[in-house]
Amino acid sequence: MKLKICGILDINILQHACEANVDFVGFIMANNSPRKISNDFLDSLENFNFLDTAPVFVFVNPSVEEVEKVTTKIENPILQFHGDEGDNFCKQFNKSFWKTIRVKNFQSLETINDFPSADALLLETYSDDIYGGTGEMFDWNLLENISLQKKFILAGGINSENIKEAVSLSPWCIDVNSGVESSLALKDKTLIDQMIENFKNGQFN
């Protein structure tokens, strides 16, 4: 099972996560997010040594040009599409990509087969107001009645208190954002370390 820390804005936090062997680090490219990275920060990632950690770039209904701004700078990025993008749009960049399913109810999960080209599906909490970053869990009981043919990533309101329950659902990856923040968009090294420890303990207990 893998762990992703998403919404990173600080190079020191990024370095800390990579040195702690977090599997994936996520960078928000969506315009309306308080965690959107700046152009300068994106430039700084071009020569950054991610060690064994893979960078993931999160888009919400982007233009082709916005995606290519990343793919031309970063070697082998994973693209995460969090909006209303279709499979054909997502696959045109010839990069590994994850597609987000915003879960509101069981009917929301009927779209899980609409993205045959995706390498994984990310299940996130639905909100009328925003695409992702809600800090809230969806009803994980919904997952009991579906058969996922692809690897799935569990996201939405995961923190050190509920990470063990999240692990028990056997996702391929767990995506953490606000659960390692001391305040909005401010990642905390201590909370990251605690999350990593609880994540590992959840797998082996």
Q: Which of 137, 125, 122 is nearest to 174 (CA)?
A: 122
Nearest to 6 by CA among 179, 168, 142: 179
Spans of all domains in the chain: 2-204
Cross-strand partners of 147:
none
User: Which superfamily does CATH assign the domain made up of 2-204 to?
Assistant: Aldolase class I (3.20.20.70)
If one counts every other C-beta atom within 10 angstroms of the C-beta of residue 101, the result is 22
| Rounded distance between C-alpha atoms, residue 94 and residue 80, angstroms | 13
User: What tens digit of pLDDT does each residue of 119-176 get?
Assistant: 999 999 877 666 666 678 898 998 887 778 899 999 999 999 999 999 999 999 999 9
Q: What is the pTM of this model?
A: 0.94
Helix (H, G, I), strand (E, B) or coil at 19: helix
